[in-house]
């Protein structure tokens, strides 16, 4: 069965590109989105060149065109760029699932929880995209450090929150395709907790001089 095309908006960044590569290896065609179509094309060509045989293609377009081309849209941009980026993809995202990866961090204290005016980055994206878009938040608590290393086996879990059950199931499938264990963590109202854990993990990394700390659920079903 043909797998849906995923538009990774912000796919030129570390986390977006890492997820894009893992999904391409799993057979999902990828369209990298960037403010600059030229940059998207350059990065997508670099990523595609490193894919193993049998992977799905990775191509690049500007953000608006990428969102229109994708059947599923993944928003992986810094919180500071979220609003402006969402403006570019509103039209192309209508009727689709949008998975937000972003976390509201407030420099310079990025290791301290900070809640934006809209409650969470995911809730703000939902309000901006409109009710015809099903927003899900996922992948906030994974590090980009090892994503491009296809020999690395993820040892952390993904919490998935959203108000649409079917949309959350799609996000869980994508997390599993990327090699993670994922779990339905409830409605979009829980996004502040999931997003806020990232600040906690950043603090753990700093205080313990480690990279890529994540979360792992106990008492959860695994294959």
Q: What tens digit of pLDDT does each residue of 135-144 get?
A: 999 999 998 8
pLDDT at 212: 84
pLDDT digits (tens, 9 = 90+) for 155-212: 899 999 999 999 999 999 999 999 999 999 999 999 999 999 999 999 999 999 988 8
Segment 103-123 mean pLDDT: 95
Cα dihedral 30, 54, 138, 187 in deg (nearest 10): 90
Q: What is the pLDDT of residue 210?
A: 87
18-32 pLDDT tens trace: 999 999 999 999 999
Q: What is the mean pLDDT of the chain?
A: 95
Distance of CA 192 to the CA centre of its chain: 16
Among the listed residues 35, 91, 39, the one whose alpha carbon sits nearest the alpha carbon of residue 63: 35
pLDDT value of residue 222: 65
pLDDT band at 145 (very low <50, low <70, confident <90, very high): confident
pTM of the model: 0.96
Task: Say if residue 216's pLDDT is above 70.
Answer: yes
**Per the structure block, which two tokens stand in for 123?**
């809730």
Confidence of residue 119 (pLDDT cuts 50, 70, 90): very high
Q: pLDDT value at position 108?
A: 92
Answer whether residue 221 shows pLDDT above 70. Answer: no
Q: Is 44 exposed, middle or buried (0-12, 13-18, 19+ CB in 10 A)?
A: buried
**C-beta neighbour count of 213 within 10 angstroms:** 16
pLDDT at 223: 54
**pLDDT on residue 167:** 98
């Amino acid at each position: 069965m043909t797998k849906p095309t995923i538009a990774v908006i912000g796919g030129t960044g570390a986390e977006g590109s890492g997820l894009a590569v893992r999904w391409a290896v799993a057979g999902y065609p990828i369209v990298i989105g960037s403010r600059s179509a030229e940059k998207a094309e350059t990065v997508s060509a670099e990523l595609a060149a490193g894919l193993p045989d049998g992977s799905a293609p990775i191509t690049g377009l500007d953000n608006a065109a990428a969102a229109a081309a994708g059947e599923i849209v993944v928003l992986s941009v810094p919180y500071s760029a979220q609003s402006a980026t969402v403006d570019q993809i509103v039209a192309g995202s209508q009727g689709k699932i949008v998975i937000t990866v972003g976390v509201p961090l407030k420099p310079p204290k990025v290791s301290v929880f900070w809640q934006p005016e809209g409650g969470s980055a995911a809730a703000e994206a939902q309000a901006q995209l409109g009710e015809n878009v099903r927003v899900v938040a996922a992948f906030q608590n994974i590090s980009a450090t090892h994503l491009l290393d296809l020999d690395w086996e993820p040892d952390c879990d993904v919490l998935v929150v959203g108000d649409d059950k079917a949309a959350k199931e799609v996000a869980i499938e994508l997390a599993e395709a990327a090699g993670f264990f994922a779990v339905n963590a409830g409605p979009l109202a829980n996004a502040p907790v999931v997003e806020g854990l990232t600040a906690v993990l950043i603090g753990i990394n700093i205080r313990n001089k480690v990279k890529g700390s994540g979360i792992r659920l106990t008492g959860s079903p695994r294959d």
